[in-house]
A and B are shown apart, each in its own frame.
Chain A
Amino acid sequence: MKSLLIRGARIVDPSQRIDRVSDLFVDEGRIRAIDEGLSPEGAEVVDARGLIAVPGLIDMHVHLREPGFEYKETIASGTAAAAAGGFAAVAAMANTDPPNDCAAVTEYILEKAHRAGGARVHPIGATTRRMEGKELSEMGEMVAAGAVAVSDDGLPVRDANVMRRAMEYATIFDIPVIEHCETPELHPGGVMNEGYWSTCLGLRGIPRASEEISVRRNVILAETTGARLHVAHLSTKGALEAVRQAKERGLPVTCEVTPHHLLLTDDSVRGYDTRAKMKPPLVTEEDLEALLEGLADGTVDAIATDHAPHHEDEKQQDFDHAPFGIVGLETSVSLGLDRLVRPGIISLNRWIELMSTGPARILGVEGGTLAVGAPADLTLLDPERPFRVEPSVFVSKGRSTPFADWELQGRAVRTIVSGRSVFTLP
């Protein structure tokens, strides 16, 4: 493979506290040097003046839908969408059909991802067999095959005893248990946040207590078991407070938030727009502000999209019947650069930590750093490049996003995995 010289980029790497303009040299799929005035012979030179080079971004929560739901997304289309969105790696949730609850499925996913040649895929195994919440899955075998975490995401593990055992068992492999925190008993038929708007629209509500109760239970179990708990798509002020308290007590608890929960509230459901139907539901201004605070003060460990592609026809239904979920891979970077970094809610350095270093650390995978010797996964960002969200040209098969037609500034222009460009913006 040809070596690569990234010339003149602003290099920002929170893992090494680097933020300076320099050259970066990549050879044999690994980062070899960061220095000024590099001119190795035979290297392909990328003129990156005016661009920002950062550790390859990692979306630690995506649904690739294969096997089983290839009409919604495939591993090939999903990893291509990830690359186009600036992600060098994604972690794929287990709720496929069959679910990823055994080594055979884990291997299948990795094989497909390898052949697709887009972003790297880190498979997440199911916490329980068939994701039924009853018996533990074969975690050891899946980890040996390449799984990096376990989660029944899409569903919470409802039985506290099963969750306790799963956490205890996961400590053998030192993998995080990623939990979709929800208490479904609280909201039969719930489709949006329970609040003023659910009352106005006559839609069944999901109270914020649903998430908070579950987060608190799981924090207690994390303390009981010593397991690493990662709270997926955390959305409410109360749940964030629970994580903050857990961290203060030194528990190994981490959490992620999604761009949509950082930027939208439940009034987006007005007009019964199914593009605003997601789980957890969009909540209130108060929650949104708490989440932004959590981004800034370090309580939040990662931004993940919960990329959940659905077929267009499925979303074109009345609100009650449309499925939960929106796509996120191709909007996350521009939303972050334009709506979080540009207005100064968080620094660029902090954002990269949330988008790369943080997820790598939680998942325990390589990446998230531009350290010499590390795999050459990196993303080049153009902070000035305008980006209009146009779902019709998405690489993902999913098209449903509440950010359609948003005008943003800043986007990924090149995504490099193991020294190979998997996406280059023309």
Chain B
Amino acid sequence: MTLASHHLLDIESLSPAEIELVLETSTSFKEVGERAIKKVPALRGKTVINLFFEPSTRTRVSFEIAAKRLSADSINVSSAGSSVVKGETLLDTVKNLEAMAPDVIVMRHPSSGAPHFVARRVESAVVNAGDGMHEHPTQALLDAFTILEAKGRLSGLKVVIVGDLLHSRVFRSNARLLTKMGSSVTVTAPRTLLPPFVERLGVEVITAVNDAIVDADVVMMLRVQKERMEGAFFPSVREYFNLYALTVDRLKRAKQDVILMHPGPLNRGLEIESAVADGPYSLILDQVTNGVAVRMAILYLLAGAS
């Protein structure tokens, strides 16, 4: 089996079977990361361009390691060093890259839909590594992989997502993936950080975090993106922490075997208490490890599985 699309642009267009395929493929690639020589020849001779118009060391490094472990040549282009700053349009940038015939373009862009724009105009496979407030599909897939490892299933779980949902592409991808796979998703945030009609994505909205978290199997924290808070979304960090932060006390309302996730980077003391972030329920570092395996699977499925 292969993926129906030549690109990975969003979770929305993936079927449950395709999601399972990515996760199964990730399992075999995770094993590669545990070897002494962490390299397979699957994408030898292929070129992967990491095109980042928005800084993200974590995601970029994860993709870069994934490409290298598959023996692909990977090149990083970040907006600071690219011609974007010289006023070149996205279309020009992409046409130039395309002329160098990469097999995969991994793209991060601050504007929603930018990878879709590019995918319609290039031969290369395009992987969305986060577009504006739209989706971050590889993050949702690595989160799913991490849940699957911990819980053995993706269906029938109560997943609670807490925090800045309005600006979060991680939320949009995760909500789509988890509801598709048969879990229930409860979201909790101040009303100012809830997107309009969010319940139409198939999630339950409970604005009081203490109520939302009851009996949760998974608690997923979102980063409060201070850089996007151009308006007054909440009165103060102090009040946000008091009302929404994940504390040891609050986590007690969840199931005994609850797992805690966070896409990073963490704002300790704003959205999460350090004792929780570093505590026994936290799978935050597993998420990072799994990120490489899942991205290897995606690069392989898009560029190497033929």
Closest to A207 in B: B196
Do B114 and A199 have beta carbons less than 8 Å apart?
Answer: no
- Scoring A residues 287 to 319 as 1 if CB is less than 8 Å from chain B, else 0, what string do you get? 000000000000000000000000001001111
Residues of chain B lying within 8 A (CB to CB) of residue A272 = 112-113, 116-117
Q: What is the size category of the interface that chain B forms with chain A?
A: 20 to 34
* Chain A residues closer than 8 Å to B230, beta-carbon distance: 188-189
Chain A residues closer than 8 Å to B196, beta-carbon distance: 194-196, 198-199, 205
Nearest Cβ in chain B — how far from A200, in angstroms? 7
Cβ B198 vs Cβ A199 within 8 A: yes
Decide yes or no whether A203 CB sits under 8 A from chain B: yes
Q: Tell me whether A426 is interfacial, beta carbon within 8 Å.
A: no
A321-B201 contact, Cβ under 8 Å, with A195-B196, A196-B196, A204-B133? no
Count A-B contacts at CB 8 Å: 71
Determine if B201 and A320 form an interchain contact, defined as CB atoms under 8 angstroms apart.
no
Check B109 against A201 for contact (C-beta < 8 Å): no
A201 to B90, Cβ gap below 8 A?
no
Residue numbers in B under 8 Å from A37 (CB-CB): none
**CB-defined contacts of B135 to chain A, threshold 8 Å:** 202
Taking residues whose C-beta sits less than 8 angstroms from the other chain, chain A's interface range is 20 to 34
Residue of chain A at shortest CB distance from B91: A316
Contacts of B132 in A (CB 8 A): 202-203, 320
**Binary B-proximity of A178-218 (CB < 8 A = 1, otherwise 0):** 00000000001100001110111111110000000000000
- Decide: A319 and B201 in contact? CB cutoff 8 A: no
Q: Is the CB of B112 within 8 A of A317?
A: no
Asked if residues A196 and B89 are in contact (CB atoms below 8 Å), the reply is: no
Chain B 55-75, CB-CB to A under 8 Å as 1, else 0, gives 000000000000000000000
In B1-56, the 8 Å CB interface with A consists of 12
| Selected contact of A318 from candidates B113, B198, B201, B231, CB within 8 Å | B113
**Most chain-A Cβ atoms within 10 A of its Cβ — which of B90, B91, B132, B200?**
B132
> Is the CB–CB distance between B112 and A201 below 8 Å?
yes
B88-130 contacts to A (CB < 8 Å): 89-91, 109-114, 116-117
Q: Is the CB of A343 closer than 8 A to any CB of chain B? A: no
> Closest approach, in angstroms, between the C-beta of A285 and any C-beta of chain B?
14
Chain B window 182-215, contacts with chain A (Cβ cutoff 8 Å), 1 for yes, 0 for no? 0000000000000111101100000000000000
Our pick among B89, B90, B112, B197 for the contact of A202 (Cβ within 8 Å) is B112
Which chain A residues lie closer than 8 Å to B12 at the CB level? 200
Residue A42 is within 8 A (CB to CB) of chain B in the complex: no
Residue of B nearest to A205 (CB): B196
Chain B residues whose C-beta falls within 8 Å of the C-beta of A250 in the assembled complex = none
Q: Are B201 and A199 in contact (CB under 8 A)?
A: yes
Contact digits for B137-174, partner A, Cβ 8 Å, 1 yes 0 no: 00000000000000000000000000000000100100
- Please indicate which of the listed interface residues A317, A318, A320 has the most CB atoms of chain B within 10 Å of its own CB: A318
Chain A 106-147 interface mask (CB, 8 Å, partner B; 1/0): 000000000000000000000000000000000000000000
Interchain CB contact under 8 A, A317 and B89: yes
Smallest CB gap from B198: residue in A? A199
- B200 and A202 within 8 A (CB): no
Q: Which residue of A lies closest to B116 (CB)?
A: A272
B131 in the interface (beta carbon within 8 A): yes
Complex: A204 Cα to B231 Cα, angstroms: 13
Contact B134 A201 (CB under 8 A): yes
Q: Is the CB of B195 within 8 A of A199?
A: yes
Given A196-B196, A196-B200: A319 and B89 interface contact (C-beta under 8 Å): no
Nearest chain B CB to A273's CB is how many angstroms away? 9
List residues of chain A with CB within 8 A of the CB of B112: 201-203, 272, 318-320
Knowing A318-B90, A318-B109, A321-B111 are in contact, say whether A196-B134 is a contact too (CB < 8 A). no
Give the contacts of A218-259 with B (CB-CB under 8 A): none
Q: How far is the CA of A320 from the CA of B134 in the complex (A)?
A: 12
Contacts of A203 in B (CB 8 A): 112-113, 132-134
Nearest Cβ distance between residue A277 and chain B, in whole angstroms?
11
With beta carbons under 8 angstroms apart, the residue of A200, A205, A318 that contacts B117 is: A318
Residue contact A196 to B197, C-beta cutoff 8 Å: yes
Q: How far is the CA of A188 from the CA of B134 in the complex (A)?
A: 17
User: Would you give the 0/1 interface string for A313-336, flagging 1 where the beta carbon is closer than 8 Å to chain B?
Assistant: 100111111000000000000000
Q: Is the CB of B198 within 8 A of A319?
A: no
Query: Distance (Å) between the CB of A183 and the closest chain B CB?
Result: 14
Minimum distance in angstroms from A269 CB to a CB of chain B: 9
A200–B176 Cα distance when bound, in Å, is: 10
* Nearest CB on B from A165, distance (A): 30
A200 partner, pick from B114, B201, B231, beta carbons under 8 A: B201
B133 to chain A: which residues have CB within 8 Å? 202-204
Measured CB to CB, the closest approach of chain B to A357, in angstroms, equals: 40
Which residue of chain A has its CB nearest to the CB of B197? A196
Q: In whole angstroms, how far apart are the Cα atoms of A229 and B230 in the complex?
A: 34
Q: Could you tell me the distance between the alpha carbons of A271 and B90 in the complex, rounded to whole angstroms?
A: 17
With most chain A CB atoms within 10 A of its CB, the pick from B113, B131, B230 is: B113
- Report the Cα distance A194→B117, complex, angstroms: 21
The chain A residue with its CB closest to the CB of B89 is A317
Chain A residues within an 8 Å CB radius of B195: 198-199
Contacts of A201 in B (CB 8 A): 112-113, 134
* B198 & A202 in contact (Cβ 8 Å cutoff): no
Min Cβ gap B28→A in Å is 32
Report chain A residues within 8 Å CB of B111.
318-321
Chain B positions within 8 Å of A200 at CB level? 12, 172, 201
Sample 16 A-B pairs with CB under 8 A, ordered by A number.
A188-B230, A189-B230, A195-B196, A199-B172, A199-B195, A199-B196, A200-B172, A200-B201, A201-B112, A202-B113, A202-B133, A202-B169, A202-B172, A316-B91, A317-B91, A318-B90
New contact pairs (5) apart from A203-B133, A205-B196, A319-B112, CB-CB < 8 Å = A198-B195, A200-B201, A203-B112, A271-B116, A319-B111
| Top-6 shortest CB links A-B | A202-B134, A272-B113, A202-B133, A202-B112, A320-B111, A199-B195
Q: Which residues of A contact B (CB under 8 A)?
A: 188-189, 194-196, 198-205, 271-272, 313, 316-321
